[in-house]
Amino acid sequence: MLEGSLRFNLLLTLPALILTALLIAVTGVLSPSFLTEANLANLATRLLPLGLVALGQALVLFAGRIDLSVGSIMSLATAMMALTSASLGWLAIPLALAAGVVCGLFTAAGVNMLRINPLVMGLATAAVVKGITLLVLPSPGGEVDYALYEVLFGSERLLALPLLLAVLAYAIFVLAMGWTRFGRSIYAFGSDPRAAFANGVSSWKVDLSVYGLSGFLAAAAGVVLSIRILSGDPLIGESYTLDAVSAAILGGVALQGGRGNLIGVFFAAVSLVLVNNMFNLLDLNTNLQDIAKGLIFVLALVFFMRGKAGEA
């Protein structure tokens, strides 16, 4: 039973793997600069923030929830880094991460205690966080300690710290979701909350866990972005909300919860980064990027929702 379920979840990664391979092949043929070391390092740099926020979104979706506040949390983290890292140095990072966790717990409280729809509560949290961010940093600016940039992005190679951190984060949660009670509880709750509750799974603990982790990972993505641009931006995270959901769905995570695995999400995040890179390298109209990613999202929804109906 477990082997069959594992096999089925691994099959869900195929669309993301196929799309990633297709994009690499097409861009590699059409652009001679695609496989240069500088471009590959750039891909890894851009993968890290998207990979982190998509990872958090996937955890929430596994539980049958959704978190639309992740983009605002990313923006808040960049603002906090820009305003505090020059004076606090490395201590600014845990401060920004803690703020992300608080935002996630705020959403969890609204969903679990006040019984607010997760979609609506996520939007409410996003609005509150965005307002706070604009109060502390009304426009792009501030300064992030350059020493942080040297550590994270100082080596312009593919196999450098950004890619290693992304792979490590996914490896940790792949093991946690597949081999611990924590992961089994989230899958069980997403599949059938009543049955999970009857077997001792606490909805309160699940919501606190997935939303807290989502807030933490979104803030981590924001920290990475702030270090990359060496400043803060109160709106920089907005585009990442849809990208995070798209990566999770394309990776095979069900909107209804209880299905999917993080390997697919990782390769889906890679494919979205490759889409952006392809448009840039081929000098295509960048306004078409959102159209392309929107169509990918719709096709993924159609494919996996049909698969879910067939499974039922």
pLDDT score at 1? 35
- Give residue-wise pLDDT tens across range 87-100: 888 999 999 999 99
* SS (HEC) of 173-234: HHHHHHHCHHHHHHHHHHHCHHHHHHCCCCHHHHHHHHHHHHHHHHHHHHHHHHHHHCCECC
Q: Is residue 139 part of a domain?
A: yes
Q: Is residue 4 part of a domain?
A: no
Mean of the per-residue pLDDT values of the chain:
90
Per-residue tokens: 192: 């059938």
pLDDT score at 4? 44
pTM confidence score = 0.93
Overall number of domains in the chain? 1
Closest by CA to 108, choosing from 54, 182, 56, 179, is 56
pLDDT score at 245? 94
- When pLDDT is cut at 50, 70 and 90, the band that residue 309 belongs to is very low
- Give residue-wise pLDDT tens across range 137-190: 999 999 999 999 999 998 878 888 999 999 999 999 999 998 999 999 999 999
Half-sphere CA count of 269, side-chain side, radius 13 A: 31
- When pLDDT is cut at 50, 70 and 90, the band that residue 9 belongs to is low
Closest by CA to 71, choosing from 182, 296, 245, 236, is 236
Assess contact for 97 and 216: CB atoms under 8 A: yes
122 has pLDDT over 90 = yes
What does residue 139 show for φ and ψ, rounded to 5 degrees?
-145, 160
225 has pLDDT over 90 = yes
Maximum separation of any 2 CA atoms in the chain, in Å: 58
Q: Is residue 171 part of a domain?
A: yes
Task: Provide CB contacts within 8 A for 161, sequence distance 6+.
Answer: 151, 152, 153, 155
Q: Is residue 30 part of a domain?
A: no
- Give residue-wise pLDDT tens across range 55-104: 999 999 999 999 999 999 999 999 999 999 988 889 999 999 999 999 99
Assess contact for 62 and 186: CB atoms under 8 A: yes
pLDDT score at 230? 95
Assess contact for 242 and 259: CB atoms under 8 A: no
Give me the domain span that covers residue 177: 11-22+36-311
Out of 9-13, 202-206, 284-288, the most confident range is: 202-206
Q: What DSSP state is assigned to residue 162? A: H
CA angle 297, 268, 103 (to 5 degrees): 80
Q: Is residue 31 part of a domain?
A: no
Report, as an integer, the average pLDDT of 189-217.
Answer: 93
Task: Provide CB contacts within 8 A for 28, sequence distance 6+.
Answer: 34, 35
> The domain that contains 291 carries what CATH number?
1.10.3470
Report, as an integer, the average pLDDT of 39-48.
Answer: 94
259 has pLDDT over 70 = yes
Q: Is residue 28 part of a domain?
A: no
